[in-house]
Chains A and B, each alone.
Chain A
Amino acid sequence: MKQTEFKNVDPPMWVAWNQAKASIRVRFLRMLITSLGVALGIAFFCSMQVLSSTPTHGGMQSQAQMQWLTGTSLVMCLVGVTNSMLMSVTERYREIGTIKCLGASDSFIVKVFFLEALLLGALGSLGGSLIGSLLIALVMSATTGSPGLVPIVHAIVVGTLVGILMTVLAAIAPAVQAAKMPAAAALRVDV
């Protein structure tokens, strides 16, 4: 019998990057919707941040109430992002099984989903932060007075970082699980 000699070769990062890019390009509409889901959640979170950063917004609500509202918006955003990312990974179990059959290591599969989520999360979060912060700033300028530049920039930076972190975490967890599955099991999954 021939003896197999095992070597430890992992494909370079650009192989995973190309796979992630192809996936986003071909599923553009699907990805756009996922990204929009992220953007909306983050937009809400950012607008709440800007709103709560200025105590002089008509004196309608107390600081504690505003913090509670910001917290709630973060949770809503978290649920939305997790849901869309979970869906986009689980509907691709078969693809994961196939790539495993072709000889992909578990880490390659995780890398592909990590890169996809990073790109999607970055675009969605940045877009959402800009939209949310600027819109609420506009509304505030027209009614109670401009919130100033600092809280807006702060909200955009925090919103983008939080968004990217949530998107990546929400995608990595199911991707790691799928990568660890025996290939046969991943191929059997019907979603």
Chain B
Amino acid sequence: MSLLDQREVVVRTVDVVKQYGEGEAAVRALNGVTCEIYTGEYLSIMGPSGSGKSTLFNMIGGLDKPNEGSVFVNSVDIAQLTPKELAFLRCHTIGYIFQTFNLISVRTALENVTLPMLFAGLTPEEADERGIKLLDLVGLVHRLHHRPSELSGGQQQRVAIARSLANNPSIILADEPTGNLDLKTGQEIIDLLRSLNEERGVTIISATHDHKMLDVSDRIFHIRDGQLALVETREELDKHKALA
């Protein structure tokens, strides 16, 4: 088949079940999801609200633990990790980007970017140097000492992207990164993510509603009712486009 099959696997989920609530009121957000995500790909997770998209996202990111099944990130079963090891994994292996930016409101752009580096044990000088480079990369080197409230939505998301790259993660998880942005700014963010993916080889996993996102994705997971309903590859997408 395609090149994808020969690639290294960075995330693997096996029969992941996540249930919220107990007894009669229980809701199964994920109902047996098995998937593999390859190193260096740009993957979009699509699905209507309530399909379990965000839940899957949280599982992959080690933000929540499954009730059944396992999630492997870099061949480590995250359900087996202690809280400290999980914090280490989040610090070093995964970068997060959120729909609502989630910058730390009391810290400046540079401090937001350097905080994960300090968690990783860098000295303040090393962290500042690397932080300035990253903010330069996202085009915000002139906004180093501004707090999030002094930045526009697009700028805040750029800071969040720089922050997600802080410790050279192998995965960036983006939960609707363009959801709170206008079309033009959203497109800029998508282009930035795609170029990071191509230039740095970082795996990007993004939950999205945004159809612009699909144009740059290598693969698309369609989630329906807590299950992986369909996996589309780039070739299939291009074929559909050619037909239409």
Contact = CB atoms under 8 A, between A and B. Distances in A.
Interface of A: 1-4, 6-9, 11, 15, 19, 22-23, 25-27, 94-95, 97-106, 108, 180, 182-185, 187
Contacts of B136: none
A interface majority secondary structure? helix
B88 A7 contact: yes
Interface stretch (B112-120, B137-145, B179-187, B205-213): B112-120
A2 B9 CA distance: 9
Interface in B51-99: 58, 61-65, 72-76, 83-85, 87-93, 96, 98
A4 B104 contact: no
Please classify how large the interface on chain B is, using the bins under 10, 10 to 19, 20 to 34, 35 or more.
35 or more
Interface of B: 8-10, 58, 61-65, 72-76, 83-85, 87-93, 96, 98, 102-107, 111, 115-116, 118-121, 147, 163, 166-167, 170
B114 to A, nearest CB: 10
B155 to A, nearest CB: 17
Contact of A104 (B8, B93, B119): B119
A44 B156 CA distance: 45
B18 to A, nearest CB: 10
A1 B121 CA distance: 25
Q: Give me the 8 closest cross-chain CB pairs, A-B, nearest first.
A: A103-B91, A184-B63, A1-B75, A184-B64, A26-B106, A184-B58, A183-B63, A102-B116
A101 B72 CA distance: 18
A94 B99 CA distance: 13
Nearest to A104: B119
A184 B33 CA distance: 19
Contacts of B102: 94, 97-98, 101, 187
Contacts of B96: 101-102
Contact of A103 (B65, B72, B105, B120): B120
12 contacts: A3-B74, A3-B76, A4-B76, A4-B88, A6-B85, A22-B106, A23-B106, A25-B106, A27-B106, A94-B102, A106-B83, A187-B63
A105 B83 contact: yes
Most buried by B among A1, A25, A100: A1
Contacts of B74: 1-4
Given A100-B63, A106-B83, 13 more contacts: A2-B8, A4-B73, A15-B118, A19-B107, A26-B105, A99-B104, A102-B115, A102-B163, A103-B91, A104-B119, A108-B119, A187-B98, A187-B102
Contacts of B105: 26, 95
Contact of A182 (B8, B65, B121, B167): B65
Given A26-B147, A102-B91, A187-B102, A11 B118 contact: yes
Nearest to A107: B84
A17 to B, nearest CB: 12
Contact of A4 (B61, B93, B118, B121): B93
Nearest to A179: B83
B128 to A, nearest CB: 13
A6 B119 contact: no
A101 B90 contact: yes
Contacts of A185: 64
A11 B119 contact: yes
A98 B63 contact: no
A3 B10 CA distance: 10
Nearest to B96: A101
A26 B106 CA distance: 6
Contacts of B115: 15, 19, 99, 102
A3 to B, nearest CB: 6
Given A22-B106, A103-B90, A103-B116, A1 B64 contact: no
Given A4-B74, A26-B105, A100 B90 contact: yes
Contacts of A26: 105-106, 147
A5 to B, nearest CB: 9
